[in-house]
Structures are given as structure tokens and as C-alpha cells.
Structure 1
Amino acid sequence: MSAAPSPFSFILETPAAAPEEARRHFLAKLSVETDPADVQLDLERGKKGFVVVDVRSKEAYAERHVPGALNLPSRTITAETTSHLSKDDVIVTYCWGPGCNGSTKAAARFAALGFRVKEMIGGIEYWVKEGHATEGTAARGTPVYTKRGDT
């Protein structure tokens, strides 16, 4: 049995933004985020101008990571540990998945050091869910969350 119609709407309770305001919001969001599909396509096509950085622990990186990604655990990001990176490149950070904010913390640290940065939403979890290849010691098909290291 369905509920009786109600004039109240959870969606419409807060008015939607004007189209131009919404456009600015979503462009701002896209300026700091990317997704696994876009990263994979750019890597596959050999695009330059960005560096993918896995900000999880060295152990987690060794098990499974995006092909070609550098490993720089988020708590180790300093001017010294990033001196080999070019500020001409966009840094793309990722961690475990939507439930991990390590890549957000890392992105903030990179930005504070003067790098342009985007966060790969979904992390390694969605990279694997989308079927993209990985490098590391974990066999294909091994669950992403076998253990969790510090980021």
C-alpha cells in the first residue's frame, strides 16, 4: 500500500539554485575533482600534465595501485618530499574510496605547497570496480579492503 499524497517535498523544501549559480558550483567542483574513468582514459591515451599520487600507506600501495602512480602517504607530504614534482603538473590524489578522506587531506597539503591538485573521487575502490588494471602484489579479483593501512 502506498502512502497518501503529501504536499511536502524533501527535494523541493530547499529551492534549487538559479541555473547560472548551479553552473558555477558544478564547474568549481569539477576544478578540484576527477574520476577513475577520466584518469584511466588520459593514462591510456598518454596524456601529459598530471601526476597520479596514491596517498595510502606503502604497504597498501605495494599490494595494489593505479599503474604508474607515485606513492606519497598523506602524512608525509612536505616541501622536501614533493621537491621532485613539477608545479606545472596537476597532482591527482587518491586513497581507499569514498569512506576515506586521506586523499582530501593530501590534496589540501599539496595545495598549501603551491601545487594545482584534483582528487580522484572513489579512490582505488572505484578504480577496481570499474575494471581498470592495477599494479602490485594483489591478485586480480582480490577484494580491495583485505586490510586497511594508515594514510
Structure 2
Amino acid sequence: MTNALRFPAADPSVAAEFFAAELAFEADPDDVYRDMQAATTNQATNSVDNPADNPADNAATNNQYVLVETRSPEAFAQARIPGAINLPYRDLPEQLDLDPSKVYICYCESFQCNAATKGALELARRGFRVKRLSGGITAWREAGYPIESDALAETSLPTAAGTSLPAAAGASLPNVAGTTLPAAKEATLPTAKEAALPTTAGPALPTTAAPSVSKVACHC
């Protein structure tokens, strides 16, 4: 008997029932992205065939489901899956103005975060059908799929006169009379070698390299 088969495999009918039930609770990021592409294509086709139509429906829902970001509004503003709505699980009201005919696919940061599980639980308790997006937004981004964000690109700010602000690296500034004030002279600090303190002779202690740990922060 091998280690892998120490517990015998289930009967095929039992296994089929188990995995079907498991998939009833999970959604794959790739499947969601394919639906987005299909919905976008369909909307473009409908717009050509019926110019009066307004394809305002969320491309991610495909009229059947809605993506739900269950983390905080700050995390939602920083990065989210296109078309998702924000329903933080911590502040979910008892009454929700949601379409009961749709499925709500909840997601959070990653496998290391359970905000999606908590959000899906609360929605299910309120009578809505739910799923959880495997891997959260981390898996979504690692797959190379697009995200939305409220973050503004950093740009240089003009002064009141419409000119650019000078760089901070010792640039000369004009005074009131129009003459130029010299920039402050930088003081030279002694290097660590010049200011070295005498050490006490002794055996060197071996150091232990700390293992590298990859951690995904949760912003739920």
C-alpha cells in the first residue's frame, strides 16, 4: 500500500458529487475573465446591430452574476477587478438592495485572507446565492488580468505663476529684490571609517541567515 493510497479513493459517483459540490462554491479567475471578454464582444456586436441600445450592464456580470469586493473601501479604491461592487463584510447592512436572481461572486486579497468567505457567508444568510473567487485579487493580478484603481498618477505641480517648482537638490532661489541667494552649503560628515570606534578583541559570533518569507498583506 502506498502512502498516497493509504486512504482508498472514493467511488466515482461519490467523487463526482463531492467535486461538483466544491465547484458550486468556487469560481475560477480565468472563467470570470473569459466571461468579461465574451460580454464585451457581445456588447460591441449589439451596439453595431442596435445603435439605440445602451450596453450599460457590467461586462463582468454577463447579466448572471456580480463580482463583490468584500474588503475595505480603501482597498477597493486602491485596486479592484473591473466592474466589481464594494460590500465590506464588516459593515454589511441587514437589508441589501441587490438583485436576488443573480449570483454574487465574492473576492478578497488572496488565499491568506478570508474576507471573501465572511462576505459570502453574510450574503448567503441574507438569502443571496454566492460563490468565492479562487485566489482573490492577488491570483487575478498574477494571471495578468486588468484591474481598476482610483489612485492618481503623480505629476509635478506648477506654481501660482505657472512655472515648475525647482528641484530640492540645492537649487538657487530668487529673493524679493530679484537677486539670487546662494544655496546652503552642505556640511560634510565623516564617514564610518573615519569615525570608527575601537573595538574589543573577541571571537566573531556566527550569524544565522533568516529565511526569506513571502507574505501578502491583507487589507480587509
Shorter-chain-normalised TM-score: which range?
A: 0.7 to 0.9
Picking from 10, 18, 36, the partner of 2:3 is 10
Q: Which residue type is aligned with residue 78 of structure 2?
A: E
Partner residue of 2:90 out of 49, 69, 75: 75
Structure 2 stretches lacking a partner, 5+ long? 40-61, 153-215
In the alignment, which residue of structure 2 is the partner of 1:42? 35
Aligned partners of 2:94, 2:150: CA distance in 1, in Å?
30
How high is the TM-score relative to the length of structure 2? Answer: 0.58
Alpha-carbon separation, structure 2, partners of 1:104 and 1:121: 11
Runs of 4+ off more than 6 Å: none
State the shift of 1:53 in Å: 0.3
Q: How many residues of Structure 1 are paired with residues of Structure 2 in the alignment?
A: 136
Q: Is the 8 A contact 2:68 2:85 kept in 1?
A: yes
For 1:20 and 1:104, locate their aligned partners in 2 and report how far apart those are by CA, in whole Å.
28
For the aligned residue pairs, the C-alpha RMSD in angstroms reads 1.8
Q: Does 1:90 align with 2:103?
A: yes
Contact 1:93/1:107 (CA < 8 Å) preserved in 2?
A: yes
Counterpart amino acid of residue 54 in structure 1: E
1:51 is paired with a residue of what secondary structure?
strand
| 8 Å CA contact 2:113, 2:218 repeated in 1 | no
Change (3 A) 1:14 1:138: farther
Q: Would you tell me which structure has more helix in proportion to its own residues?
A: 1
Determine if contact 1:96/1:124 at 8 Å carries over to the other structure.
yes
Structure number with higher relative contact order (C-alpha < 8 Å, ≥ 6 residues apart):
1
Give distance in 2, aligned partners of 1:11 and 1:66. 38
Deviation at 1:10, TM superposition (A): 2.5
Cα distance, 1:78 vs. partner?
2.8
Residue 148 of structure 1 deviates from its aligned partner by 3.5
Deviation at 1:138, TM superposition (A): 5.8
Superposition TM-score, scaled by structure 1 size: 0.83
2:147 is aligned to 134
Structure 1 vs Structure 2: percent identity of aligned residues? 38
Q: How does 1:50-61 map to 2 (within 5 A)?
A: 50-61=65-76
Instruction: Give 1:101-112 correspondences, 5 Å limit.
Output: 101-112=114-125
State which structure, 1 or 2, has the greater radius of gyration over its C-alpha atoms. 2
Deviations 1:10-39 (A, max 9, x none): 211111111000000011011111111111
Counterparts of 2:22 and 2:9, CA distance in 1 = 17
Give CA deviations for 1:28-85 in whole Å, capped at 9, x if unaligned.
01111111111111122222210100011111111110001001111122333xx221
| Contact 1:60/1:148 (<8 A) preserved | no
Partner of 2:132: 119
